[in-house]
A and B are shown apart, each in its own frame.
Chain A
């Protein structure tokens, strides 16, 4: 079945550091890929998405490129802030409307 594997955390960074969270997937067909973010005590919010190969999703300084050849959708941000501290989830949706989520990566950014 469809599945997502993402980098285990926790990840601790200093402000202005570069962030990468790896995500790889297994799916039949051509899934859509998503990154969701969960801030403490809140629900999940869509951060960015990509619907086909080579698409780049971007939002709030975060980027991820849909790489079909490596079945990956790694999340990157060039300069993180304390406010980026959250749990990040990679997810995919294939032919039905269900999302398959990764385990989540906790990111803590220190001032």
Chain B
């Protein structure tokens, strides 16, 4: 399997612009997670989906952030409008939940976002 795929790997944009980050989870996985990593705050869970349905979005910082999962093989994280403080590495991860067993989350390579 190709693993979790994220695009773009790097994104540089100007304040106020819309940014869309993309993720393709591992085929067959039914959970998808979006994380943000910064030096100041470490790894933060933003939102996660189960079977394409958002389960917990309590980590989404504000209304400028939105995430969708239109089908089992694709998810987007959108920031509109972007601000310099959104600069971070954004990771997508997926997992397969097996009842009674621990599930492992597999991470993508991340998208490094820089907002000028």
Contacts and interface: CB of A to CB of B under 8 A. Distances in A.
Interface of A: 32, 34, 36, 42-46, 49, 51, 89, 93, 96-99, 101-104
Contacts of A99: 33, 45, 105
Interface residues of B, number: 24
Interface string B25-44: 00000010100000000110
Contacts, number: 48
A105 to B, nearest CB: 11
B70 to A, nearest CB: 21
A5 to B, nearest CB: 12
A34 B42 CA distance: 17
Nearest to B43: A101
Most buried by A among B55, B93, B101, B107: B107
A97 B43 contact: no
B101 A51 contact: yes
B43 A32 contact: no
Given A43-B91, A44-B91, A97-B95, A89 B43 contact: yes
Contacts of B105: 46, 99
Interface of B: 4, 31, 33, 42-43, 45, 48, 50, 55-56, 91, 93, 95, 97, 101-110
A104 B102 contact: no
A43 B101 contact: no
A97 B91 contact: no
B43 A43 contact: no
A49 B102 contact: yes
Contacts of B101: 51
Given A44-B107, A97-B31, A32 B102 contact: yes
